[in-house]
A and B are shown apart, each in its own frame.
Chain A
Amino acid sequence: MELKTTILDKAKPTFFEKHQNALYKSLEDKHTTVEVEEDPLGTRMILNMGPQHPATHGVLRLLLELDGERIIRNRLDIGYLHRGVEKIAENKTYQEFMPYTDRMDYLSPYSNNVALCLAVEKIAQIEVPERADYIRMIGCELARISSHLLYLGAMVMDTGAISFFIWTFRERERLYDIFDNFGGHRFTISHSRIGGVHNDLSPECLGMIKNFIDTFPDEIRDWKKLLNKNRIFYDRNLNVGRISYDEALALGVTGPNIRAVGVPYDIRKFDPYLQYDQVEFDVPTRLEGDNLARYFIRMEEMSESVRIIRQCLEKMPKGPIRTDNAKQAYPSKDEVYYSMEGMIHDFMMTDTGICPPEGAEAYHAIEAPKGELGFFIQSDGTGHPWRLKIKSPSFTNLQGLEKMLDGEMIADTVVMIGGVDPVMGDSDK
């Protein structure tokens, strides 16, 4: 049997032959091609999973070399959702660029907004009122719960329990309603502004948040009851997708995934931003580094987020929600509508934007739900960044995934992808 058959031999394109052949050729050339080298018995099979596969969490492509049900080698192929977000940033003012960050990690838009705003505030040295910090913190923690809920639903669904996805989505629906009241959007809220936030929380919204944090711990308790002692779920996750301490550190795995190997790295504790040094919370860590550890950590983090939100609501002072300096932030709508200067400043902010000093550089990272989300900005003195680099957590976490997949069963692939919890919009940017 001829082993080295190429795609070109097998595929017989019928439409646009030349075009299709060129496509196949380019696929062959990619670094993601897997060649079966030693296979005297002819038992190996190459399985191309994705980018259109129902369970790869977006458009992740996996190339698996299988021996029966076991994965011998694998390659990950990313980039199918590349939209050139970093390049777009160079042609936008800082404020204009913010809605694009919503679409990166689209499961926790608020964290991305805050990450960008904090980076810009750092480079342009903008002071933010304390109340805005607390509002941002509430938004970030709600986004964390929302993201972890999706992780939980999708990962448990990947193990085969479909109902769980719907149960977590019922809670996410409540979060969406809160965000609707929070900033006017359910999904891509873009509520944070450079220099503060767009609007204060309405009493109704505060009531909804209070109601949520009062009832949500009961839900977590119910889910734990259903999953923690479930033999099938436990066995499906135990020792699956194991990554060692050294490997995880070397590959730059972040977020809950690195806390699952025993590194208590949480930027909220290491380098507190916003008002995280004012609230009390614990950083859950585990030592096992497998999928089960990641599950436990995320469950604990949701409880910690509820704790943070409760403290934020207590500690939130009264006061302005955006900096009063019209050179640094949009003036309030009252000023825009009723004063000449306000209107001029509004135009200037939209047209030119905030201009950090020439040659300034800043990197600011926050603890997004999936790990360290950092924005590196280089300014040339204009309202547009000269260069904006995003360090996204999903991208680094996916590096770890390739290590985890080798030697596991094919049924574990989707569970591991779910466990690492990548979002392709975040990874491909």
Chain B
Amino acid sequence: MEAPIISSYIILGAALFVLLNSAAVCVYAERRIAAFIQNRVGPNRVGPFGLLQPIADVVKLIFKEDVTPSYGNRILHSVAPLIPVTTALMTVAVIPFGDGLFITDLNIGILYLLAIASLGVYGVTMAGWASNSKYSLLGGLRAAAQMLSYELPMGMAIASMVLFSMSLSLVDMVNAQIYWWGIFVNPIGFIIFTIAAFAEANRSPFDLVEAEQELVGGFHTEYSSMKFGMFFLAEYMHVVIGSMLITVFFLGGYHLPFAGYYAHLLPEAGTLAKAILDISVFGAKVAFMVFVFIWVRWTIPRFKYNQLMSLGWARLLPLSIANFVIIAFILMMIHEFF
């Protein structure tokens, strides 16, 4: 890993800025898409097409009373919302947005990602415990169990992609997909990873943690004001990060499909034009995955706790291990005989 250079800091600043704002864009997109699915109009009063709605939401949240439940743990209750947001922001460090457009190229980038992603659940569990509410507690415990069960298939799905790139660096991972995207060579891994990403982001159908119908609000039942806003922000940032990871691991990152075959036929682009093209391709893929996240949420019912567990441990985990072994075997055969 080389020492950080000036451009790294610029990209870091830009990436954090985009990520923080992407949550706002996501909220707007979610509400408009939900409204579209439900035959409603959706927010259209604040600003043109209701585009300023997220700002109005944040202002409202800031002005609300910040309540800490009596007999709750005051310190943990305040610290908990910070954890998911921080971990979500930390993940951008290793994601390549374009050719050379990354903050740092960690040679253990994937391990770093997995480690950081699993830290986020501490915030949820702490929030559940510190609230001194039974609904929150149930939500927090569900979060811990869910995270544990879905980390494993997720890890195996990523490992099966590592077999192709032969590196734990995300930049190498993207470059390994210049000819064939991960989704084409490893479709089962893609499905497993997508499901696990939904579970990691606590999105429907895996939103048991906040299951509105049975647990009122789950872990954030007792949260209000900007503390609740932080959880809200973290949820949408996790959606964006999940989409980014799916893009990086399976949708070829910033590469156009099968780019390796025809890239040399295209005219040589300047550095800036190349950067803009890369980021647009990356952004379009991420936007599509975010749309899928939202689409699924407003269509599909939620799992039950025992169904979630049996899906994670009895179906996804064996499937992901089998997928890994089969891919490893095929790759070894190709390596040996061709």
Q: Which residues of A contact B (CB under 8 A)?
A: 45, 47, 53-55, 69, 156-163, 166-167, 170, 230, 232-233, 235-236, 409-414
- Asked if B304 and A162 sit within 8 Å, CB to CB, the answer is no
B39 to A54, Cβ gap below 8 A? no
Decide if A409 touches B304 in the complex (CB within 8 Å). yes
Report if A55-B39 is in contact (Cβ < 8 Å); known contacts: A163-B298, A232-B301, A411-B305: no
Instruction: Name which of B207, B214, B298, B306 has the most chain A CB atoms within 10 A of its CB.
Output: B214
- Asked if residues A161 and B299 are in contact (CB atoms below 8 Å), the reply is yes
Is B306 touching A409 in the complex (CB atoms < 8 A)? yes
Supplied contacts A160-B207, A161-B300, A161-B301, 18 more A-B pairs, CB within 8 Å:
A54-B213, A54-B216, A55-B213, A55-B214, A69-B306, A157-B213, A160-B204, A160-B302, A161-B302, A167-B38, A170-B39, A230-B300, A233-B301, A236-B301, A409-B306, A410-B214, A411-B214, A412-B304
Complex formed: what's the CA distance from A233 to B40 in Å?
24
A156 contacts which chain B residues (CB < 8 A)? 301
Q: How far is the CA of A157 from the CA of B301 in the complex (A)?
A: 8
Task: Point out the residues of chain B lying under 8 angstroms from A167, CB to CB.
Answer: 38-39
Residue of B nearest to A234 (CB): B301
* Residue contact B207 to A47, C-beta cutoff 8 Å: no
Most chain A CB inside 10 Å of its own CB: which residue of B212, B298, B302, B305: B302
Residues of B within 8 A of A410 (CB): 138, 214, 305
Nearest first, the 10 closest Cβ-Cβ pairs linking A and B are A160-B302, A159-B301, A166-B38, A55-B213, A161-B301, A160-B301, A411-B304, A163-B298, A414-B213, A232-B301
The complex places the Cα of A163 from the Cα of B205 at a distance, in Å, of: 13
B310 — nearest CB in chain A belongs to which residue?
A: A235
A166 & B40 in contact (Cβ 8 Å cutoff): yes
- The tally of CB-CB contacts under 8 A between chains A and B is 77
Min CB distance, B268 to chain A, in Å? 48
| A157-B213, A414-B214 known; A232+B39 contact, CB < 8 A | no
B305 cross-chain contacts in A, Cβ below 8 A: 69, 409-411
- Within 8 Å of chain A (Cβ to Cβ): is B37? yes
Which residues on the B side are within 8 Å of A158 (C-beta)?
Answer: 213-214
**Shortest distance between the CB of A274 and any CB in chain B (Å):** 35
Nearest residue in A to B40 (C-beta to C-beta)?
Answer: A166
Which of chain B's residues have a CB closer than 8 A to the CB of A414?
213-214
- How far, in angstroms, from A230 to B301 measured CA to CA in the complex? 9
Chain B residues closer than 8 Å to A47, beta-carbon distance? 134-135
Instruction: Provide a sorted-by-A list of 7 A–B residue pairs whose CB atoms are within 8 angstroms.
Output: A54-B213, A69-B305, A156-B301, A157-B213, A160-B205, A163-B298, A411-B208
Is B38 touching A163 in the complex (CB atoms < 8 A)? yes
Interchain CB contact under 8 A, A45 and B134: yes
Q: Give Cα A236–Cα B39 distance, bound, in whole angstroms.
A: 26
Q: A45 CA to B137 CA in the complex, in Å?
A: 11
The residue on A at minimum CB distance from B134 is: A47
Check A235–B307 contact: CB distance below 8 A. Answer: yes
Report Cα–Cα, A53/B133, bound state, in Å.
14
Cβ of A235 to closest chain B Cβ, rounded Å: 6
* Whole-angstrom distance between the Cβ of B142 and the nearest chain A Cβ: 8
Interface residues of B in 38-58 (CB under 8 A from A): 38-40
Which residues on the A side are within 8 Å of B134 (C-beta)?
45, 47
Q: Tell me the smallest distance from the CB of A68 to a CB of chain B, in Å.
A: 8
Contact indicator per residue, chain B 29-42, by CB within 8 Å of chain A (1) or not (0): 00000100111100
The smallest beta-carbon distance between A361 and chain B, in angstroms, is 44
> Which residues of B have CB within 8 Å of A157?
213
Bound complex: CA A161 to CA B300 (Å): 5
Interface residues in B286-338 (C-beta closer than 8 Å to A): 298-307
Q: Is the CB of A159 within 8 A of B302?
A: yes
Q: Which residue of B lies closest to A240 (CB)?
A: B304
**Interchain CB contact under 8 A, A232 and B303:** yes
* B3 shortest CB reach to chain A, Å: 49
B residues 175-208 touching A (CB-CB < 8 Å): 204-205, 207-208
B211 at the interface (CB under 8 A from A): yes
Residues of B within 8 A of A160 (CB): 204-205, 207, 211, 213, 300-302
Once the chains bind, are A236 and B300 in contact (CB under 8 Å)? no
Chain A residues within 8 Å of B204, by CB: 160
The residue in chain A whose Cβ has the minimal distance to the Cβ of B206 is A160
What is the minimal beta-carbon distance from A350 to any residue of chain B, in angstroms? 44
A166 to chain B: which residues have CB within 8 Å?
Answer: 38-40
On chain B, the residues within 8 Å of A53 by CB distance are: 216
User: Which chain A residues lie closer than 8 Å to B37 at the CB level?
Assistant: 163
Distance to closest chain A CB from B8 (angstroms) = 42
Complex: chain B residue closest to A158, CB-CB:
B213
